[in-house]
Structure 1
Amino acid sequence: MLKLTNITKSFDGKTILDNLNLEVKDNSILSIVGPSGAGKTTLLRCIAGLERVDSGTFSLNNQPFDPYDESVKERVIGVVFQDFNLFPHLSVMENISLAPKLVLKQDQTTVQNNVNNLLEQLGLTSLKNQYPFELSGGQKQRVAIARALAMQPQILCYDEPTSALDPSLRDTVAQVILDLKKTGITQIVITHDPDFAKKIADQLLEVKPLND
């Protein structure tokens, strides 16, 4: 279980998160919904160790956990970024395969089998040899999801995973997230889409700007 206790985060004197307490059970899906400026992405970035909190603590399975610790977070948390963050000089296959080879030290056969399965799930098989500049926004988002899934993290965080997708593909992404739950991964999803959030969530957190 991931537990956040009294998490506070401010930017330029403006408090974004104020003594937030949250528990996310193992093998569950938490959807965080709310308008722009409510702190959804800030919360995700703190959980993922991309921002250091001003105060408060994290624990994972009842042990202290510092998501900002580089030696820990690679093995624990994966992130699907809204702006994709794909390597422009690598093909789709290479983007997804790189980290499992370098970080997880998986052999070529294992990597290829896992990546091919992800490509099929996300409708990307025909695009595996293309480069990011050749892809639409929705295709890039799906590659980013596949790349994060390939790392097999304990906790997977998504920042607006359907924002660049056609409505017809949102159900596909929802199904991938629900299927991934069967592997035991805890998932945290930031979204503006309440219908998508409710479809996938075991737990729903609605956030509002602190000034409201």
Structure 2
Amino acid sequence: MLELQNISKKFGNKTVIDQLSLKIPDDSILTIVGPSGAGKTTLLRCIIGLDKVDGGKFLLDGQPFDPYVSRNSDGIIGAVFQDFQLFPNLSVEENITLAPMQVLKKSVDEAKQDAKRIMEQLHLLDYQDQYPYQLSGGQKQRVAIARALAMRPQILCYDEPTSALDPELKNEVKKIILDLKKTKITQIVITHDIDFANEITDQTLTVKPVK
């Protein structure tokens, strides 16, 4: 279980997150909703470890855990970003295998074997030799998820995974998230789409701007 205790984050004199406490049970889906500027993305960046918190602490399975310190280590927390952040000069397979080889020090064969399993799970095998510019938005989304899964995270975070996707592709992303829940991955999803949140969530956190 991931636990946040009195987490605070400021930018200059502006408080964005003010002593937030939250428990996220294992294998569950937490959705984070709220208006623009309420701190959803900032909170996600703190959980991922891209931003350092100014106060409070994290616990992972009851033990102190600092996402900021651990962000470059093996897969505790993975992330799928709104703009996908795929490497345009790498094929789908290369996008998925790069981090496991560089960070987890997997061999080429092992990384490719894992990538093949994940691509099969996400219906990407037909696209493994294609490049991001050849893919649709939904396909890029699946590649971004596959790349995160290749690091075998305990927790997978998404920043607006259905933005700019049509209803059919939204349903595809919903199915992926619900299927991943069955594989015992804890998931945290930022979304402005309340209907989508209600269809996938076990727990919803509604954030509001700090006054």
TM over 0.5: yes
Counterpart position of 1:112: 112
Aligned residue number for residue 40 of structure 1: 40
Q: 1:63 corresponds to which residue?
A: 63
Q: Distance in 2 between matches of 1:41 and 1:142?
A: 21
Deviation at 1:115, TM superposition (A): 2.5
- Number of aligned residue pairs: give it: 211
| 1:33-85 CA-partner distances (Å, limit 9, x unpaired) | 11211111000000010000111111111100011114775331101011111
Q: Secondary structure at the match of 1:88?
A: coil
What residue identity is the alignment partner of 2:6? N
The corresponding residue for 1:90 is 90
Q: CA RMSD in A?
A: 1.9
Question: Quick one: which amino acid aligns to residue 148 of structure 1?
Answer: A
Distance in 2 separating the partners of 1:135 and 1:123:
13
Cα-to-partner distance string for 1:170-194 (whole Å, 9 max, x where unaligned): 1221121112122221111111111
- TM-score with structure 2 setting the length: 0.91
1:110 and 1:199 map into 2 onto residues whose CA distance is 36
Please report the TM-score for the alignment, with normalisation by the length of structure 1: 0.90
**Local SS of the residue matching 2:174:** helix
Which ranges of structure 2 fall in alignment gaps of 5 or more residues? none
Q: Give the match for residue 154 of structure 1.
A: 154
Cα 1:110–1:91, aligned 2, differ >3 Å: closer, same or farther?
Answer: same
User: Shift of residue 110 of structure 1?
Assistant: 4.7
Are the equivalent residues in 2 in contact too, given 1:92–1:129 (CA < 8 A)? yes
Q: 1:201 Cα deviation (Å)? A: 1.0
* Aligned residue runs from structure 1 range 53-202, under 5 A: 53-70=53-70, 73-108=73-108, 110-202=110-202
Task: Tell me the SS of whatever aligns to 1:93.
Answer: helix
- Identify unmatched segments of 5+ residues in structure 1: none
> For 1:12-23, what aligned pairs fall within 5 Å after superposition?
12-23=12-23
Distance 2:78 2:54 in 1: 22
